[in-house]
Each structure stands twice: as C-alpha cells, then as structure tokens.
Structure 1
C-alpha cells in the first residue's frame, strides 16, 4: 500500500513540475504591472514654439534654419536608476487608421520628401538616477529650399532599463514608452486639404486573418482627423455585399498611407473576380473609390494556409493540454482509489465487530 501511494505521489510531481515550468516562461512580474512607467517626458519649449500650453511642439521654422528641441525626462522611481532611449521619429499612419508617433518598420510613403528623423540629430540613451531628471537636446536643420505644409513626428522615449527578478535572474518585463509630438511648419496657421488616393487593392493577412487590403494614401503634407470610411466588397457584376469595413474617427499623418483591412471569412477568401466600393469622408470632403481586383488560386491557397497556421497551437501547448488531462484523470482515479480503500476498511471493521 505504501509503495503504491509513493508511486502515485511521484507521478503527480512528475506531471505537475513541467506544468509549473511552462506556466512561468512567459509571465510578467506583478510588481512591474502595478508600478507602471517609472519615467515622465515633457517638452522644453524653444522661442519658436507657437503655443506653450499645448503639451507638444508646434514650431514655426524658416528655410535653412538651424534649431534645437529639448525634452525633460524625469525618473519617478525613488530607488531605481532608469535608462531611457530617446529617438526622433517620423509619424506614420497605422493600419488601424490612426496617426502613429512610434517608430515603425513600414516603408515611408513615396510622397514624403522630408521625414522628421532625417532632419534631426541621432537618437541618444540617457541614464537617470532615482528621483532626478535630465534634459536631452536634439539639433535640426530645415532644408534650404523649405517645404510646404507640415512635417510631423515626435521625440519617442523607451525605457530600456535592464532589470532582474527577485531571484536574481533576468526575465520578461513590460517595456514602457511615451512620445512628445512635433509639428514643423513655415506657416502654422495655414491648413491644407487632404489629398486621398486609393493606391492598391490586394489580398493579404491582417492579424492572422485573411483580408483584402485597400491602401489609402494621403498625398498632402497635412495631418487630419475625423475620417470615416465605409467599404464593401462584392463579386464583379453583382450587388450583394460579401465583406465590409467601417472606420470612425480615423486620422492620417502627412504624406502617409495605410492598408485598410477588409476581413474575409475565417477559412479564407475564394479565388475569383471582385469589386471594392469605398467612401471616405474627412474635413468636409468626400472621396469615392471603385476598383476591380482578382484573387488568384495561388493567392487564395496562401490565405487559407496563413489562417490555418495562425490557428495551429504550438507543440508545447498541445503537450500542456494532454498533461493537464492526464493529471486530472490521475487525481480522479486516486480519489476513487482512496474512497474504495476507506469503504473496504469500514467493511472489514464491521465484519470484525459482528464476529
């Protein structure tokens, strides 16, 4: 009896230990989540700032001008030194249809003549002692020929402090970031109208989901907000809507583009000929686009494969599920075994009393 119990206990330990190890590989420390960002970023306004109550930079500049932009970084931690990476960044438009002030891997729009980061000095990383602040300054040079409209971007701050867990080992930690926006303009009071184009329509993948990607381009050197989009896809020559997309309160950076994702079925998008009909409204203007496109057999198969790959579970997750099932069965079986032993013991005791 003792041998059987020891064997069961050892087997349970064997199953539980890997589960605990797997469960701890991708955790984030609770104190990191509770603490939040341990630094603060604020603009230091130069003389050519148009409004010192905004909380971001709007600078009036002239052709060939050399100037500087400074930000103050405050370490709000009382005990830890922070290392903050500061990067001048050109603004883009995310595929969610919103202005993005963070560094982006996407290729710059071909109409963007002067990305903000190319006008500014290089990124810097500063080290700030606990409860102290430092000022970082970036130099910029405006092109001799000047420019029309706006140049938009930010000073992006990322906490790159290396931290150890309570056990002394390096682990996964939240990466906190923030940004201070920058608008450069030769005439800050001037507002240019958006100039929107439908660049391309193609099948693709959005967040591991088959989609038709409609690339919308803002060719104007002017940011704008309050954009609404209504789009539908039909089979060519038909009127029934099979896929649709809606966006409210979108925004776009100057001289940027984004791929509006019109999601298809989970199983994919069948090969065939389709028509995209799209209406975009912003700044009191309306754009209507209509484009025929084709999804080839090869593209349809690729979309279906991408969706299946996205839905597949990693091998370790399958192992984890089977191990959990085995553990549950083992615990249930062990419980029934103990119940049977106790009942047998009671019966033996009753028989002994009767005898």
Structure 2
C-alpha cells in the first residue's frame, strides 16, 4: 500500500516558514483542524503555539482542540515529538527524535503524556489534555517539541494511495530567561551516501539546550598534496535543535570518492556573531570508497539515462521483432510452396 503523508505545520517563527502554506489548505481537503488553548502562563500570548515557563518539577495540564470538519467519523493519532535537526539542516518535529543525544530527564516522552488517539464523529470537536511534569533539575535554554496530530487514512486496500493529513503544534518549555552560551562540536568525518550521492559527511553536535538559527556553513576539503578537491558554502539560514546532531554533507558532485588522506576546514557562523572553526584530518580507506561508489555511482548512472534512450531502444526492439516475424512468415510460406 502506498502512503502519502501531508503534514501542515504551525511552528515556531525561527523554525519553518510554512504557516502561509498551511493556510492555503481548505478544511474540505484536510477535514479537521486543531487549536491551542493558551494558558495563563504563556510567555508570549500573541503566539498561537504553546510557549510556557514552568518551575522545576511543576506539573500542569494544557489542552488543545481538535475539530472534525468533515461529515465522516475520523480517528486521529496524537504524539509529542522532540525537536531534532533533519538532514537538510533545519529544525524538524515530524518524526520522533533520536533520544540518544538527550538526557532522559529532558526527553519530551518523559515530560508530556497524551492519549495515543481519539475518534470523533463528523462535525464534532473535543478538547485533548496533555499532562506536563517538568524535570526536577533546573535548566537554561528550552525544551523544544511539537504536538503531532495525524488523521488516519481511510483506504486500506493493497495498491491504493492513502492521504494522511496532519498538523504540528509547537510546544516550547522553559525554566528561566538565562542566556545560553552557544557551542558547536565536530564529532566525526566519514565518506557516506547522502541524498543518493557520493559525499563526505561531517557530524556536528549542538551540546546545549539552546536552539541555534541563521547558520551559515563554509567547507573546504584538501587532499594530502594540499590541493582543494571540494569546496561548498551553505547560506540558507539553517538551524540546529537543542541537544541534536546534524550530518553536514559535502556533495562530491556525483564523482567517485578516491581513497587517501584528506583535511577539512569548516567554518560555521550564526547571526549573533558566533563563529566556529574546525580543522580536522581524515582518511578514506579503499574499502570505504568502494562501498560508497558502488551504491551511489550506480544509482546516478541509472538516473542519468535519458528517457529518449529507452524510447529508441524500445522502437529498435520492436522493429527487430517485426522483421523476425516477417522472415519466419516468408520462410514458412516458401516451404509450403
């Protein structure tokens, strides 16, 4: 069964410019909508998502409204997902985060409890409660997460396309207004397949509980002879979620990776005049280069064959088959005569 998921996001201003896109969807197509019921301890009451300040160990129940605007009964799956940095280098909430980077007391799964799903008749609405229990340990920064509500697909037959519609409603939790000293760490460099292409991936880590925005990247890779083999710049105001890693991919432009010794010079800067510089040597082994090239180059070659080639080959095969049939027909006719 093929499945298409459409997620409509109402998120933090620095995370996604998707609110305008979401507003273009009609209730008739989506079939439901959600709305935060803003509590008194909302930090900024102009915001339409939850921006809450609570004491250490404090408990609170917050609510949001789900309204089924369709005429049919529908079931909605509910979860609260922690912020993570996706492969494109932006803060995301659409999948559960990798909790290996997050201490247990700060994992949103330990803090927020929600029902797994609710079912609503057509035209009905219901308030959904989220029980929050803040960590006993005080922290500077923020716990970023989002309430994820997905409408279950109606069609379940094999081969059918199932449209799953959903919303993401931001949930930001803080203890205080203390400023966090931003940090970035370079954990590892390795050859890899990224977006189906040969690449060298530098794994960066944000070890703080502060979200970092407006990031710009400049990277230069040199070989053992000191020659620049790759140079890339990303100037797209990218982001990193708190306590997350980002696999920064240096695209090898569909070229084969060559085994050998290399060095990486990477500069990362934000809008607050912070700048991090990393210089690291790394090695691509014969086996690593072979494994990456075997997969990525094959995929590229398959994708690079133009459609007209297949058309010409198909026509030629058709002509050959017709000629074979013709000659067999003539041969059999001569035998009969």
Indicate whether the TM-score tops 0.5. Answer: yes
Alignment of 1:54-69 (within 5 A): 54-69=47-62
* Larger strand proportion of the pair: 2
Q: Which has the larger radius of gyration?
A: 1
The one of 55, 64, 68 equivalent to 1:71 is 64
Q: Following the alignment from structure 2 to structure 1, what is the Cα–Cα distance between the partners of residues 302 and 264?
A: 34
Q: Which has the higher helix share?
A: 1
Q: SS of the counterpart of 1:173?
A: strand
| 1:52 corresponding residue in structure 2 | 45
Q: Does 1:80 align with 2:80?
A: no
Paired position in structure 1 for 2:14? none
Q: Distance in 2 between matches of 1:150 and 1:289?
A: 26
- Cα distance, 1:72 vs. partner? 1.1
Separation in 1, partners of 2:210, 2:104: 11
Q: Deviations over 1:121-159 (max 9, x none)?
A: 155211122232221111111122332221111111112
Displacement of 1:96 in angstroms is: 1.0
In 2, the alpha carbon distance for the partners of 1:113 and 1:260 equals: 28
Residues 193 and 288 (structure 1 numbering): CA distance in 2 closer, same or farther, change over 3 Å?
same
Contact 2:192 2:199 in 1 (8 A): yes
> Conserved in 1, the CA contact under 8 Å of 2:211 and 2:241?
yes
Contact 2:148–2:167 (8 Å) recurs in 1: yes
Q: What TM-score, normalized by structure 1, do the two folds share?
A: 0.74
Q: Do structure 1's residue 303 and structure 2's residue 292 form an aligned pair?
A: yes
Residue of structure 2 aligned with 1:286, choices 253, 275, 280: 275
Over 3 Å counting, the alpha-carbon distance change for 1:327 and 1:40 in structure 2 is farther
Provide the rounded CA distance (Å) in 2 between the counterparts of 1:112 and 1:323: 60
Q: In 2 relative to 1, CA 110–74 (structure 1 residues): closer, same or farther, beyond 3 Å?
A: closer
Alignment partner, residue 352 of structure 1? none
RMSD: 3.3
8 A contact 1:243–1:264 mirrored in 2: no
1:43 aligns with 2:36: yes
1:120 paired residue number: 112
Report the counterpart of residue 258 of structure 1 in structure 2: 246
Pairs within 5 Å for 1:148-297 = 148-163=140-155, 171-187=160-176, 189-282=177-270, 283-297=272-286
Cα deviation for residue 207 of structure 1 reads 1.3
Superposed displacement of residue 285, structure 1: 0.7
**Equivalent-residue separation in structure 1 for 2:214 and 2:300 (angstroms):** 35
| CA displacement 1:53-79 (0-9 Å, x = unmatched) | 2111111111111112212112232x2
Secondary structure of 2:288's aligned partner:
helix
- In the alignment, is the contact (CA less than 8 A) between 2:77 and 2:116 conserved in 1? yes
Aligned residues: 296
TM-score (norm 2): 0.78
Whether the 8 Å CA contact 2:37–2:62 is kept in 1: the answer is: yes
Between 251-260 and 98-107, the greater mean CA deviation after superposition: 98-107
**Could you tell me how far 1:327 is from its partner in structure 2?**
11
Residues in 2 aligned to 1:327 and 1:53: alpha-carbon distance in whole angstroms: 66
Question: 2: distance between equivalents of 1:181 and 1:147?
Answer: 20
- Distance across 2 between alignment mates of 1:206 and 1:212: 8
CA contact (8 A) 2:2 2:159 kept: no
